[in-house]
Structure 1
């Protein structure tokens, strides 16, 4: 095992050394601007994440899905259900009635704005997750977090569409994750929309599944 680790370290070191010897591609910004019109979006960051380097984004979503499934599988079943605690803070509940619609509207704006300005699925998904966290902390029911088909579909929906688009392009004879030029904008918007929902559910599920120290249960040394 030690020999294998040393060989892998040497291989990675050699690869890093070779990369460091390459001449920097100083014309990358110009190449990006030249291809931006064909990317389906107007913002260079979104074009890179969802088109030119979509492999990276697909793998990032896969890691998030695996992390969410692992966290849920290790959590107690009842921890995923609606919390038993119901807050009596009427001011907080009243404030939440205004905050939730505003945060959902902001999430939609971040998703739509990602085409031509900073924003996109990750930012919108984080806003959705923050909305769910507030609802969770105030004891509002979140039925989709109960273990079942809705939870499973929500976690993998964005990744599934992303992967399906990539496979469809490969089956059609093009390279993997190469969007058809006439459908590129619609496909990217559809992927980002479902990714927003999935990222929001993944982050919220990880928050809900996080272990909580129960003060009512004695420590092992106190038994």
Structure 2
């Protein structure tokens, strides 16, 4: 009887939440102003010709800074949890010569795509987040192929990794402080320098985002049943 009651209560709660979401979507108030039109009117003052990049790194740059900070906090938490259990096994390497051979061809292409997305973000869809995701994918494939990033091994490597993780937010904040020292608001770029400053910020963010995503993949806890995988494979099917 109790399982049926809990199922009924869960169904009622789901219906209430669904109805509330539907009401919020259907009865949403009209915007006070036409934001796309306002962006197009001020796009010449931004450092990027693409409206999405202009919004993310100029008009709403503080929001983007906070998003990167949240990603960095997630990595810090993952590092803390991993250091609390330092004996966790590393099972990411696959002894597969074919995967390594494919990566020798695929890695330059991934690096080229990442660089293109970073450069194209000023005029078309792309930017630091997309470039960083592709760069992180290249790192994940390298780890799966059993290639260890020797530059981040040991105490010195861990320090180097942490410095690169905070590079993007640090450059972002440094540019904001620089604009304040120049008599403007925080992250209010001078029109003559906006394009160059945004490019510098995106370069730093690309490295930090890529390493953050790769770190989250690397620090993910191993599956608890990996040790019994061989037993399951040897076990005859019923």
The answer, yes or no, to whether TM exceeds 0.5 is: yes
TM-score range (shorter-chain normalised) is 0.7 to 0.9
**How many residues end up aligned between the 2 structures?**
197
Question: Could you list the runs of 5+ residues in structure 2 that have no partner in the other structure?
Answer: 1-26, 229-238
Looking at structure 2, the residues matched to 206 and 79 of structure 1 have their Cα atoms a distance apart, in angstroms, of 15
Whole-Å Cα distance in 2 between the matches of residues 100 and 121 of structure 1? 19
Give per-residue Cα distances to partners, 1:151-204, cap 9 Å, x unaligned: 111110010000111111122221111112211100000100110010000000
Match of 2:227 in 1: 216
Query: In the alignment, which residue of structure 2 is the partner of 1:49?
Result: 56
Q: Give the C-alpha shift of residue 84 in structure 1.
A: 6.4
**How far has the Cα of 1:130 moved from its partner?**
0.6
Decide which of 209, 213, 237 is 1:203's aligned counterpart: 213
Shift of 1:143: 2.5
CA separation of 1:41 and 1:89: change in aligned 2, threshold 3 A: same
> How far apart in 1 are the matches of 2:214 and 2:43?
34
Greater C-alpha radius of gyration: 2
* TM-score of the two chains, using structure 1 as the length reference: 0.81
* Secondary structure at 2:123 match in 1: coil
Unaligned segments of structure 1, at least 5 residues = 1-19, 218-223
> Does 2:134 match 1:127?
yes
Q: What is the aligned partner in structure 2 of residue 158 from structure 1?
A: 168
Q: Distance in 2 between matches of 1:59 and 1:197?
A: 17
1:64 is matched with: 71
Task: Encode CA deviations 1:49-98: one digit per residue, 9 max, x unaligned.
Answer: 00000010000011111111110121144669xx5665332111111101
* Structure 2 length-normalised TM: 0.76
* CA RMSD after TM alignment: 2.3
Distance in 2, Cα, partners of 1:55 & 1:85: 36
2:218, 2:167 → 1: CA distance?
19
